[in-house]
C-alpha cells in the first residue's frame, strides 16, 4: 500500500519529537512536513540530535508557501486552543486530524467549558460544531468509533493511566464506585519543553510535590469514561504529583472491593477485559512493576493487589507519558483510522535501564 502522508504541527516540542520517533520506523507512514512557529528553517535533528540521519526535515512556518499540504493526516502537537482554530481547514480538505490537546476530547460544549475552566482558558470554543463528531482517542475503549472518524481527541496522559487502570473494575462492578482514589505521579517532561522556573533542575532535583489538588483538568475525561462503563455518574478523588523523573506516570489507585470479590476474580476480570489489547499488560501481586518497565514504549502495565485486611483493591497503572500518554496513542489512533494493524510502528519494547 502507499504510505500515509503525515504532517506534524508543533513538531518542535516533546510531543512532536515523540511522533517523529514513532513514525520514522513505521512501515506505512511518511512524514511529509514538520510545522512550527519556532526554530523555523532548522533541521529537526539540530534540535534533537538523536534524530540525525533518521529525520533531518526542516521545521517550516505555518504560512510557508513551500510547505506541503498533501497530507492524509495531521497531528496537532499543540497547546489547548490551537487545534480548534486550525483543524477545520484541514478537515474541510478531507484530511484526518489527531489533536493532542483537550480541544476535541469532549462531545458537548458544557463539558468542554468545565474542562477549559480548570485550565483557566476562558475563551469560547472556536469550532463547537466539530465536538459532536470528534472521538475520544483511547483505542482500548473506542477503536470502533475511531475507525470511522476523521477527528480524534487524544486522551490526557494521566487519564490514560487512570482509565486503563480502572476500566475492568468499573465495568465488571468489582468495586464501590464511591471509594475511588487515584494517586498519580509524573515525570517533569509532562510539563512540556517551554522553560519554567518550577522545573529548573535545582528546583526539581530531589524534590516532589502535589499540584492542582482536587482540581486537575484530566478528571473530567476520567469521570466521563468511567461513567459510560458504569452506566451512572462516577466521581473520583484524584491528586497528581511531580516527581524527579524525566518521563513516566505511575498511578496508584485505591477502591473498596465489593463483597465476594478476591484477587483471583479480579485478575480473571482484567485479563478477560484486555485479552485483545496488545498494549495493556496485566500482572498479579507476585510481579510488581516499575516505571522503567514501560519507558519509551506504548505499553500500559497494570499491577493488581488486594489488601485483605481492609478489603481494598490496589491497582498500579504505569505508562510513559510521552508515548502511551501522548505520541504513541496518536500513532495507534492513526493506524486504526486508516485500517492498519493497531500495532504498526509501535510494537517494540521500552528502553532499559
DSSP, collapsed to helix, strand or coil, labels residue 341 as coil
Q: Is 157 a catalytic residue?
A: yes
Read off the C-alpha cell for 144: 470502533
Burial profile 12-37: b = 16 or more Cβ within 10 angstroms, e = fewer: bbbbbbbbbbbbeebebbebbbbbbe
- What Å distances lie between residue 157 and 228, 339, 347, CA to CA? 19, 24, 19
Would you say the C-alpha torsion 64, 68, 69, 72 has a positive or negative sign?
negative
Catalytic residue selected from 17, 157, 162, 300 = 157
Do 337 and 152 contact (CB within 8 A), yes or no? yes
Read off the C-alpha cell for 109: 460544549
Do 302 and 270 contact (CB within 8 A), yes or no? yes
- DSSP states of 149-166 as a string? -SEEEPPPHHHHHHHHHH
Residue with cell 484526518: 96
Residue with cell 462516577: 234
The CA dihedral of 153, 154, 156, 162, to the nearest 10 degrees, is 110
Rg (CA), the chain: 20
Burial environment of residue 158 by CB neighbours within 10 A (0 to 12, 13 to 18, 19 or more): buried
User: Measured between alpha carbons, how far is 75 from 77 in angstroms, rounded to an integer?
Assistant: 6
**Positions marked catalytic:** 157
Amino acid at each position: 500500500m502507499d504510505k500515509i502522508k503525515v504532517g506534524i504541527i508543533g513538531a518542535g516540542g516533546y510531543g512532536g519529537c515523540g511522533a517523529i520517533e514513532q513514525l520514522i520506523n513505521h512501515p506505512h507512514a511518511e512524514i511529509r512536513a514538520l510545522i512550527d512557529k519556532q526554530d523555523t528553517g532548522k533541521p529537526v535533528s539540530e534540535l534533537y540530535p538523536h534524530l540525525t540521519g533518521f529525520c533531518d526535515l526542516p521545521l517550516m512556518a505555518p504560512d510557508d508557501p513551500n510547505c506541503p499540504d498533501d497530507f492524509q493526516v495531521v497531528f496537532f502537537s499543540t497547546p489547548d486552543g490551537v487545534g480548534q482554530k486550525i483543524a477545520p481547514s484541514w478537515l474541510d480538505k478531507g484530511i484526518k486530524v489527531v489533536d493532542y490537546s483537550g480541544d476535541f476530547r469532549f462531545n458537548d460544549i458544557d463539558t468542554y467549558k468545565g474542562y477549559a475552566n480548570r485550565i483557566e482558558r476562558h475563551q469560547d470554543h472556536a469550532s463547537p460544531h466539530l465536538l459532536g463528531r470528534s472521538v475520544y482517542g483511547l483505542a482500548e475503549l473506542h477503536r470502533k468509533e475511531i475507525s470511522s472518524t476523521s477527528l480524534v481527541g487524544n486522551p490526557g496522559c494521566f487519564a490514560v493511566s487512570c482509565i486503563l487502570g480502572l476500566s475492568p473494575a468499573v465495568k465488571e462492578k468489582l468495586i464501590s464506585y464511591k471509594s475511588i482514589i487515584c494517586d498519580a505521579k509524573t515525570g517533569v517532561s509532562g510539563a512540556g519543553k517551554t522553560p519554567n522556573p518550577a522545573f529548573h533542575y535545582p528546583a526539581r532535583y530531589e524534590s516532589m510535590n502535589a499540584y492542582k489538588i482536587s482540581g486537575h483538568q484530566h478528571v473530567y475525561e476520567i469521570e466521563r469514561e468511567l461513567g459510560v462503563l458504569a452506566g451512572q455518574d462516577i466521581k473520583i478523588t484524584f491528586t497528581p504529583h511531580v516527581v524527579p523523573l524525566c518521563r513516566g506516570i505511575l498511578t496508584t489507585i485505591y477502591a473498596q472491593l465489593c463483597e465476594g470479590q478476591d484477587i483471583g476474580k479480579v485478575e480473571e476480570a482484567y485479563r478477560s477485559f484486555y485479552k485483545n489489547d496488545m498494549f495493556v499488560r496485566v500482572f498479579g501481586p507476585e510481579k510488581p512493576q516499575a516505571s522503567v518497565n514501560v519507558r519509551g514504549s506504548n505499553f500500559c502495565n497494570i499491577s493488581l493487589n488486594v489488601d485483605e485486611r481492609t478489603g481494598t483493591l490496589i491497582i498500579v497503572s504505569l505508562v510513559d507519558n510521552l508515548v502511551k500518554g501522548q505520541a504513541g496513542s496518536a500513532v495507534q489512533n492513526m493506524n486504526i483510522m486508516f485500517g492498519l494493524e493497531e500495532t504498526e510502528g509501535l510494537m517494540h519494547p521500552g528502553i532499559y535501564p
